[in-house]
Amino acid sequence: MAQKVTEAARRERETRQQSGVPAGREPYAGDPEELAELWGAKHTEWRRIAALLQTTGQEAYDPAQDAQGTAWAKEREARRQGARDRHAAWVKERQEAKEELRTQIWLPADTSRRLRTIATQAGLRPEQVLAQLADHAMLNNDGSLTVAPFTPQRDPR
């Protein structure tokens, strides 16, 4: 245990010293300051475990006998699971977004004014009116489009 504490202290000290080295000469791929913080946290945890072993008289560390360490491990796992869940939701959102069409259109001023007026009267944004218009549009065999009369709604579905 003493060896682990000493090693963590040495690595913490070394990486803090390394953080002052100019870019390009750093021996680490990551941020040396972040690495120093990681070793600092490990150093603190090894000291806590060493104190626990000394207090309880145990010769070997048993996580089941470490209530604080077990609680922290559960918290870390909950944060990891939360991060995995958020990432999965983000991936799903991105996949669904691939099926959406997002476009930017430039309309003549008179058409733009009419669209804004219709949207305002319907209590919608102009893009919502256009989306509902597209929902109701039908392509005929001759290539022409027709739209049956409809009333734009706030929640069409």
Strand-pairing partners, residue 137, are: 147
Rounded to 5, what percent of the chain is helix, strand, coil?
A: 65, 5, 30
pLDDT at residue number 138: 95
pLDDT at residue number 101: 78
Task: List, in order, residues 6 or more apart from 146 with CB less than 8 Å away.
Answer: 137, 138, 140
pLDDT at residue number 26: 47
Averaged over successive runs of 10 residues, the pLDDT of the chain (157 residues) comes to 81 72 49 80 90 90 88 92 94 82 88 95 94 94 94 77
Q: E strand or H helix at 143, and its extent?
A: none
**Region of residue 105 (left: phi > 0; alpha: psi -120 to 50; beta: else):** beta
- Give the amino acid at 53: L
**How far is the C-alpha of 153 from the C-alpha of 129, rounded, in Å?**
8
pLDDT at residue number 23: 46
pLDDT at residue number 116: 95
pLDDT at residue number 11: 81
- What residue segments make up the domains of the chain, in order of their start? 1-65, 67-100, 101-157
With contact defined as beta carbons under 8 Å apart, do 107 and 138 qualify?
no
Q: Which of 139, 138, 117, 137 has the alpha carbon at shortest distance from 126?
A: 117
